[in-house]
Amino acid sequence: MSYRIPLIRPYINDRVKELVNEVLDSGFLTEGPVTKSFERSVASYVGVSNAIAFTSCTTGLETALRVAGIGRGDEVIVPDYTYPATAGAVRIVGATPVIVDVDPETLLIDYHQLEEAMSYNTKAVMPVSLFGNPLDFDQLMTLKERYGILIIEDAACALGSSFKGQKTGAWSDMTVFSFHPRKFITTGEGGMVTTPNEQWARALHQYKHFGMGSDDQREGVVFLTTGTNYKMSNILAALGLAQMEIVDDLLNERRVLARNYLQLLDDQEKIKIPLTTENGIHSYQSFAVFVRNRDRIMKQLREQGIEAQIGTYSLHQQPAFQGEGVRLSRQYPGSIRAWEETLVLPMYHSMTEAEQSEVVEKLKACVE
C-alpha cells in the first residue's frame, strides 16, 4: 500500500543515479573501490579511523561480537525496547542476551538497571541509540571503567547524532549503523561498523571476506580463519556514497522538520514527546510521540493516507526471547509504555510544512 504522506522517502537524485550508473558501466559490481570510498566517507564524517561496510546492521552486529571474541557462556546486556536484531545478534554468536528495561522518557537503556544486571559473565553491553537519540557516554564510560566491559553500540538509526560534540560512531568500542530504506542514508540494504581499534578493523574485514588475509610466509591469498560473505557491493555503496556527499544537508533538513513538529505539538496534553539525552544532539531518524490508544490512532491516520508507524518492539513480549538462553529482568515498565504508546510520524526529504501541519491536525483530531 502506498501512502499520500509516507513515513520516509529514499533520497534518490541525479547524482545517486550517476554514481550507480558509473558502477554499472565499469562492470565492477562486487565489493571494490566504491565500497572503500563509502567506508572512508563514513569514517571521516563520524571522526573515527575505521569503517567497514556490511550487508546490513544485523550482520555487522554479529561480526562485531565475533571479533570481540564473544560467544558461548558470555552475557551481553541489551535494552528491551529495540528491534529484535539487537538481541538476535547476541544469540547468533551463541552468547546470552541479558534484557533490561529502558528509561520511559528517553527510550534508551536504563543505565542503573544495566549496572544491576552485570554479572561475572558480562562481556559487553549493546546499548541502542534508538531513533537517533544519542547515548549518554558519561554514564557508559563510567560503567566501562568500573567493570571492564566492551561497548558495542547498535546505532542502526543514529548516523549524525552526537553526544558532547562527538558523533555517534566515535564513542563506542564498535558502533554499527544501518542503511535500510527506513534510514535517511540508504543503500537498499546495508550496514557499517566503525571502530578506533585497528586489530578489530582487520578482523571485521577478514571475516566478511571468507577469512581471507595475508601471511608473510606465503604468497597470494591465504585463508587464515573461517569467515563468510557479508560484503557490500560497489552498486549499493554508490548509493550511499552519493548521499554522504550531502549528509549534513539531509540531516539539517530533518532537524528543521523536527523543530517544526515540536512547535506544532507544543503544549499538547495528550501527545507527549520523548526526551533527548542531555548534552546530546538527536539525528531525528524517527520522530516519535507518545499517545494513548496508539493502535487505534495509527489505524485512523493510515486510513487518511498518513503512514504513521509503531516505534519498535518490546523484546520480552516476543516468543523468540521467552525461552532458554535469555536472561530477563523482573519488570519492564519503561519498555511496556514505549511499546504501547510510541507512534512515529512521517518525516522525509522535501516534506512540506503544509504536510506536517496536516499530520499534526489529523493526529490531534484522533487523540480527542
Catalytically annotated residues: 183
CB of 221 to ligand PLP, least distance (A): 29
Among 35, 50, 82, 243, binds ligand PLP (CB under 6 A): 82
* Pick from 46, 316, 318: nearest CA to 155: 46
Residue (of 311, 194, 231, 210) closest to 56 by Cα position? 231
Q: Rank residues 109 and 360 by Cβ distance to ligand PLP and give the closer one.
A: 109
Q: How far apart are CA 109 and CA 117, in angstroms?
A: 12
For ligand PLP, the closer of residues 86 and 194 by Cβ is 86
Q: List the one residue from 157, 170, 306, 367 that touches ligand PLP (CB under 6 A).
A: 157
Query: If binding is defined by CB under 6 A, does position 42 make contact with ligand PLP?
Result: no
Site track 217-236 with ligand PLP (rule: CB under 6 A), x = hit: --------------------
DSSP 202-250: HHHHHHHBTTEE--TTS-S-EE-S---B----HHHHHHHHHHHTTHHHH
Window contacting ligand PLP (CB under 6 A); options: 55-63, 263-271, 287-295, 299-307? 55-63
- All 3 cell numbers of residue 43? 569514517
* List 7, 23, 57, 108, residue binding ligand PLP (CB under 6 A): 57
Decide if residue 7 touches ligand PLP (CB under 6 A): no
> Which string of x and - marks every residue 114-143 that binds ligand PLP (by CB under 6 A)?
--------------x---------------
Size of the site for ligand PLP (CB under 6 A): 16
Q: At its nearest, how many Å lie between ligand PLP and the CB of residue 92?
A: 12
- With residue 333 as reference, give the H or E element that holds it: helix 333-341
Maximum Cα interatomic distance, the chain, rounded to a whole number of Å? 74
The three cell numbers locating residue 45? 564524517
The residue behind cell 569467515 is: 227
According to the 3-state scheme, what is the secondary structure of 56-94? CHHHHHHHHHHHCCCCCCCEEEEECEECCHHHHHHHHCC
Options 15-23, 81-89, 245-253, 341-349: segment touching ligand PLP (CB under 6 A) = 81-89
* Intra-chain end-to-end CA distance of the chain, in Å: 27
Q: Does 359 bind ligand PLP (CB under 6 A)?
A: no
Name the minimum Å distance from CB 146 to ligand PLP.
26
Residue 287, strand partner residues: 345
Distance separating alpha carbons of residues 190 and 200, to the nearest angstrom: 19
C-alpha cell at 341: 504508546
> How is residue 175 written as a grid cell?
558502533
With respect to ligand PLP, which residue has the nearer C-beta, 183 or 205? Answer: 183
Query: Which three cell numbers mark 278?
Result: 542531555
Q: Which stretch binds ligand PLP (CB under 6 A): 79-87, 231-239, 269-277, 349-357?
A: 79-87
Residue number, 86 or 314, with CB nearest to ligand PLP: 86
Count of beta carbons in the 10 Å neighbourhood of residue 161? 25
Binders of ligand PLP among residues 174 to 193 (CB under 6 A) are: 178, 180, 182, 191
